[in-house]
Structure 1
């Protein structure tokens, strides 16, 4: 396939005034009533000082709230982000201007006609807005324009205006700007239109195809002198991979660690409103890191949101990475549903009509902790669980305290099934209250202040191999395994024994890594899972813990034949947290010891962080020994705490579950406002 490139006209800007627009993006979504208008989602980066909201969007139709994200340092004098929404016509050119500075035009177009190939209305593509782009003079670089299309269409980009330029070209099929390293030092403005085409035009000449719709992005590119091209900052393996898609349920929480292999001046981030960015920290090994977290509350944001980040030194910038947050659509629950939050009892209870679940295997329903009971009779499904147990998570949503759990159906079969599935997020919101006199304040340090910017990851090694080989070669087991110790392969090439390593890079003295539950799945979406660990303990005879002398490493020996793993590949997800005791002579509570020990242990804990492995091969080619086979083949372990719905770092697209289950029950969410055991309202997307 021929890669179409077009010379980009770069307009040199000698000076960027304060309060100027540096870059901007416009994404559009169809309205629910299918009117002859669309919802426009605007993102604008402007120089400091950050302009007032009414300076950016003077139209009275702009929807509140107009939001501002944390500011960036480069290029001088620094920048900030403004985001807003408003309703615009199907075919529209938005003109943005701050003060007397030059105007920026953003073009968009949508088509409400029914597509013949999908029998539905087309969904326009999405384009991300990166932090301001910086290039080193003489340092050739590719600059991807990060785009996504939920219909799976062919995406192409083109420069909106004709012109000639010698040092910047645009690959229209890959949406990549190609910088050859030339050009004068200065700042240059580029505007790109993103269009989607039916997949059938993939090999056609681009001038013959007609696009469905269009969105646009305006970029400011800064070319700087004095750069050493060999010292470009690089993101480490714990950072999320570019293009990853994270599916976020209502009230779901996303946590990401971004780590750079060297000391940098800043890690610049652009993301959705409400994104928390921790202060940057530099570790003992000169690595720089920040932590990102985002909670999906009720919002009118786009269904697909981007988070883009880059590491900046005084003269260079890393390659920009962008990931996508896909807000899972939900439907309202049926009449007769009752969810109560009992604040005094610290409990939540649910009553769900059986008619809503008629296509489900009711016996497969469970909460975050499978050990907590879910009851049913001929008319209703009921469950009551503690806000401090049953896997209930606690988080903050603005000034509110939020408790969340999930009722889901777990298919015990490992094969793809046509049985319907249910994922029902449950949330209890407790509004913030102001304490009355006598007033006092207790200051509790944050996780980052206590443990530092930490990360977690999973690795697989054969017994006696890997970084902990000395302790797995002749292991000390927590309990003696009642299965045959074996490293050889079956005649079919299937591995018999594999060691699961869970790591944390926490350097705090006496910090202990605690592993809660671990599950295994044949598929990357973890729809069907089997337990490997429960509350840190092995649920059967197939998993045994190897005791180590390193408090931030946990190792578990997996006897694969005893676990009943039938597929050729598995994926593993574990819930982990860190613990440190306030008294030096004590150790953190061991979840696997006898509960008869009632001694009080004072400790500080982090949140529970889900981490996932990449694909782990369970078979090898004929003639390959276990000592040469690589269980982590094609795997990119994910260390992105904490999120309940994380796509593997090696995945750039996530398949729609609807392709696997016919007649699946629609996802639904119930929002509970605490009001004397009464449900105040439902929140649906």
Structure 2
């Protein structure tokens, strides 16, 4: 019997130890709630709570502290974000739904050991408490909703740099929000410290750090409360009504709700400079402003971008705290894209997202200010279907969901030549991923092709007063290997139509030698070259247009079939050879022949596309851009200032592209880089993979007058 009791005691001790370990190394947490009345008279309370530890912990160990807390009907949880900096942390969010039989107040609690070990107070227990009052408000006829709040688990500041942390204090009921330190007597905190060197403005929820506080981690256990802006009454089904008044002082009427807001602040070694943008990151456009409201739509993916800079340190990451299932990607241009798709259950609710940019200088890590935004979830927007193939995008939008917009006043990306068709039920279009102004964007994992459907008044005008919204469409492709399966066919001739010149076609071809007699067979595309091998090219009319000449204005090489791709290498600019190996053999002719030595982009890009801009002019006219030839950028091309009466002497610029060119695998490193290539001019590629699999089509709806950022809609959800 004694042996059995000893084993039982040992198991109890081990379980207690396991519970303590799983809940130790605590960085902070918070809880918010949104209640609604059910048709049967009961109440549903949607509760979101975030917690952060050294490792991810998705358990739910909240218990009822007082009142009727009802029963838990659903619960899901998952990781939000993590960072190796600041000791290493992982923040998770749990989404819990509770069903309560009446609307009397109740409290939920959670507590354990311990705060992270290196706090200035040497760690200690922590406690979280949320006070939920479901009394029906006399001003809204609904239960009270808590303020929405979140924060990063740990924020870091150099010892010599003053900083204000504006804690998000938004209330869906437009109540006054206040913040204060938790009280031990009310079970609102574990250590309940009020730290020297920090000041809390309770009315604005701003935590200010002066300077020269001792280095270390400080635990902040705050309580956020909301008060009505005028006297209101809370009505209950099982108890007497209660009056709530605006805040007067700490001993006045109780608040409408209490939620915990707990986090850590680490005071680090002094920085060489406290100026944002030097060592400490500084946010750039298009980063949202602090407190900005972003409108999202049900079942449409919200997207907003964060970009930061620092002169002396390198931006390494953007860490964020947002709703469950939000994600983050980084583009090759240094923007961090945060995405989240609300569901129908989120309609009418408010969701906070906070973010911080992190940078590294040597062994030191620095943080930017913390910014927070509010996402307001609205009803679903336009219903559309976006279909993607390896080289086209097709869009079909239900006309009933874009009422007031005439199909004849829609086009792609302000490009009059790329029309959008319509019938009585749908607006639809199909276009090339490399045409109609389609833009390409690259992240670590995806390639994104984007275009925009816009409204216009007159095809000859560049402004519109009917542009009440824009619809951005997107194809998203997964990158998985170092070989591309896209754009592997010979490019057809490009057709142009211009006043004074009529319709004409030009073809971009590659030749086997400098004699320009034998065209490379179109069936052999993609063409293969050795690095350093001569490439012979010609741009010529399919049918010769009498009394014209072609001017090779510019050529650029890119790893993808898009001349505007951010990774590019200039070959010809303003009619002048930029690459030192380029040769232009003809001038003032209906065609242009040129050559250069093959190269590859640094990294594992195995292909090169060449896109050239050409201008067609009247032959032997000294007033044309063709007659000027190479200008080295010192003269303004006539094409940019031609008057209407001169329009027929030359065309505008037109892009002609061909590729891809594949670089044969080299047996040695010395063969892989051309000695004649100017490596200083080659953009170093940061991504080493290309497209092999399509993910989905997406759509963005932008409404003028609403602060809508990118809202992406998966094609299988709309």
TM-score (norm 1): 0.51
Q: Alignment partner for residue 251 of structure 1, among 301, 317, 336?
A: 301
Q: Alignment partner for residue 385 of structure 1, among 422, 425, 430?
A: 430
Q: State the partner residue of 1:215.
A: 259
Q: Alignment partner for residue 82 of structure 2, among 70, 78, 83?
A: 70
Note if contact 1:110-1:214 (Cα within 8 Å) is conserved in structure 2: no
1:107 to 2:141 alignment: no
1:86 to 2:108 alignment: no
Distance 1:115 1:606 in 2: 61
Note if contact 1:352-1:381 (Cα within 8 Å) is conserved in structure 2: yes
Distance 1:357 1:32 in 2: 33
Deviation at 1:105, TM superposition (A): 0.6
Note if contact 1:131-1:310 (Cα within 8 Å) is conserved in structure 2: no
Note if contact 1:23-1:219 (Cα within 8 Å) is conserved in structure 2: yes
Deviation at 1:51, TM superposition (A): 3.7
Note if contact 1:226-1:315 (Cα within 8 Å) is conserved in structure 2: no
Q: State the partner residue of 2:354.
A: 307
Q: State the partner residue of 2:49.
A: 42
Q: State the partner residue of 2:25.
A: 20
Note if contact 2:26-2:114 (Cα within 8 Å) is conserved in structure 1: no
Which protein, 1 or 2, shows the higher relative CO under an 8 Å CA cutoff with sep ≥ 6?
1
Secondary structure of the residue that 1:127 maps to in structure 2?
Answer: coil
Note if contact 1:332-1:668 (Cα within 8 Å) is conserved in structure 2: no
Q: Alignment partner for residue 329 of structure 1, among 375, 378, 392?
A: 378
Distance 1:237 1:668 in 2: 22
Secondary structure of the residue that 2:125 maps to in structure 1?
Answer: coil
Q: Alignment partner for residue 580 of structure 1, among 568, 576, 589?
A: 568
Structure 2: gaps (5+ residues):
1-20, 64-70, 116-123, 185-191, 232-244, 485-552, 558-562, 572-578, 583-595, 597-609, 616-651, 662-681, 687-698
Q: Alignment partner for residue 338 of structure 2, among 294, 300, 306?
A: 294
Distance 1:119 1:656 in 2: 27
Distance 2:467 2:613 in 1: 38
Q: State the partner residue of 1:442.
A: 482
Distance 1:594 1:92 in 2: 69
Distance 1:646 1:350 in 2: 17
Note if contact 2:23-2:113 (Cα within 8 Å) is conserved in structure 1: no
Note if contact 2:611-2:656 (Cα within 8 Å) is conserved in structure 1: no
Q: State the partner residue of 1:133.
A: 155
Query: Alignment length, in residue pairs?
Result: 459
Q: State the partner residue of 2:492.
A: none
Q: Alignment partner for residue 95 of structure 1, among 107, 110, 124?
A: 110
Secondary structure of the residue that 1:294 maps to in structure 2?
Answer: strand
Q: State the partner residue of 1:5.
A: none
Secondary structure of the residue that 2:282 maps to in structure 1?
Answer: coil
Deviation at 1:132, TM superposition (A): 1.0
Q: How does 1:647-662 map to 2 (within 5 A)?
A: 656=706
Note if contact 1:142-1:177 (Cα within 8 Å) is conserved in structure 2: yes
Note if contact 1:429-1:672 (Cα within 8 Å) is conserved in structure 2: no
Pair 576,174 (structure 1): closer, same or farther in 2 beyond 3 Å? farther
Deviation at 1:305, TM superposition (A): 3.7
Comparing 359-368 with 319-328, greater Cα deviation is found at 359-368
Deviation at 1:359, TM superposition (A): 4.7
TM-score (norm 2): 0.49
Pair 217,325 (structure 1): closer, same or farther in 2 beyond 3 Å? same
Note if contact 2:61-2:110 (Cα within 8 Å) is conserved in structure 1: no
Q: State the partner residue of 1:276.
A: 328
Deviations 1:338-373 (A, max 9, x none): 74737488342425255x555555554455555343
Distance 2:614 2:132 in 1: 57
CA RMSD, 1 decimal? 5.7
Question: Who wins on radius of gyration, i.e. which is larger?
Answer: 2
1:145 to 2:167 alignment: yes
Deviations 1:11-54 (A, max 9, x none): xxxxx99951112222333469686233222222212xx14534
Distance 1:168 1:359 in 2: 55
Secondary structure of the residue that 2:394 maps to in structure 1?
Answer: strand
Note if contact 1:128-1:322 (Cα within 8 Å) is conserved in structure 2: no
Pair 180,672 (structure 1): closer, same or farther in 2 beyond 3 Å? closer
Deviation at 1:190, TM superposition (A): 1.7
Pair 357,42 (structure 1): closer, same or farther in 2 beyond 3 Å? same
Distance 1:173 1:251 in 2: 34
Note if contact 1:27-1:41 (Cα within 8 Å) is conserved in structure 2: yes
Q: Write 1 or 2 for the structure with the bigger share of strand.
A: 2
Comparing 212-221 with 178-187, greater Cα deviation is found at 178-187
Deviation at 1:328, TM superposition (A): 4.7
Secondary structure of the residue that 2:200 maps to in structure 1?
Answer: strand
Secondary structure of the residue that 2:378 maps to in structure 1?
Answer: coil
Deviations 1:394-416 (A, max 9, x none): 77999998777665666899999
Note if contact 2:384-2:715 (Cα within 8 Å) is conserved in structure 1: no
Note if contact 1:122-1:151 (Cα within 8 Å) is conserved in structure 2: yes
Secondary structure of the residue that 2:136 maps to in structure 1?
Answer: coil
Deviation at 1:269, TM superposition (A): 1.7
Deviation at 1:321, TM superposition (A): 2.0
Secondary structure of the residue that 2:204 maps to in structure 1?
Answer: coil
Q: State the partner residue of 1:500.
A: none
Structure 1: gaps (5+ residues):
1-15, 282-288, 435-440, 445-546, 552-574, 608-642, 648-653, 659-666, 674-680
Q: How does 1:522-601 map to 2 (within 5 A)?
A: 578-581=566-569, 584=579, 585=582, 589-590=612-613, 594-595=653-654, 597=656
Q: How does 1:479-558 map to 2 (within 5 A)?
A: none
1:193 to 2:199 alignment: no
Note if contact 2:225-2:257 (Cα within 8 Å) is conserved in structure 1: yes
Distance 1:366 1:121 in 2: 47
Q: State the partner residue of 1:520.
A: none
Distance 2:712 2:304 in 1: 18
Note if contact 2:440-2:565 (Cα within 8 Å) is conserved in structure 1: no
